[in-house]
Structure 1
Amino acid sequence: MKDTVIKHDVFQAVADPTRRKMLIMLADKEMPIASIAEQFPISRTAVNKHLHVLADAGLVQSKKVGRETRYKLQPEPLKELQKWLSFFEKYWADRLSALKEFVENDEE
């Protein structure tokens, strides 16, 4: 029986706050898993599982350097999120304008 490889989509990968924090940490530098794990109150195994979800979604890339595995951000898949969220910007702008008008009229 073959193992089924589950690929995670970008939306699923960034749904978890721990993974979002990891992406922010990896935005500016490549980091070994040990350094990443130090930043979270979870086991190294749990950190590794989160990194695998991010890697399956194409958001991080890993490489072996000696005995350690280093991770770095791959931002290209985030364009999918940006494209989807940009559709809703018009609604946010409308809501913010309505809030501004409400607040300004309430002060009078």
Structure 2
Amino acid sequence: MRRDVFQAIADPTRRAIIALLAGQTMNLNAVADQFDISRPAISKHIKILTECGLIQIKQQGRERYCEPKLEKLAEVSAFVEQYRQFWTAKLDALDKFLSDELNQS
């Protein structure tokens, strides 16, 4: 199955994992310890984040570490930005309309 960054951020647990890893590289057990769900469930979320290219797993000895690769979030930012510009223009027009209406009263 082909996954994209939007699938990764669609789930609140995956967003929490991204936020957790954004500040530091952690081993899989340390990530799992931060959540009240099963380790297999965390592994599934980690797998999806890896398939989406938001994290990379690196083996160091017996440990597996999750390293953030957050460059892909730029896709989300670009997508949201186009709508921010659209709504900013609409809200600015509404503000002008309401100001004009109040000034005419």
TM-score by length of 2: 0.82
Shift of residue 33 of structure 1?
A: 0.7
CA shift digits 1:12-41 (9 cap, x unpaired): 111000000000111111000101001111
2:71 alignment partner, one of 73, 76, 100: 76
- Give the letter for the 1:41 counterpart: D
5+ long unaligned stretches in structure 1? 1-5
CA shift digits 1:68-98 (9 cap, x unpaired): 1100110111111111110001244246655
- Percent of aligned pairs with the same amino acid: 37
Which structure has the highest helix share of the two? Answer: 2
- Give the letter for the 1:85 counterpart: V
5+ long unaligned stretches in structure 2? none
1:13 aligns with 2:5: no
What is the root-mean-square deviation in Å for CA atoms of aligned residues? 1.9
TM-score by length of 1: 0.80
Instruction: State the aligned residue count.
Output: 97
Query: If you compute each CA radius of gyration, which structure gives the higher value, 1 or 2?
Result: 2
The 5 A counterparts of 1:1-108 are 6-94=1-89, 98=94
Poorly superposed stretches of 4+, deviation over 6 Å: none
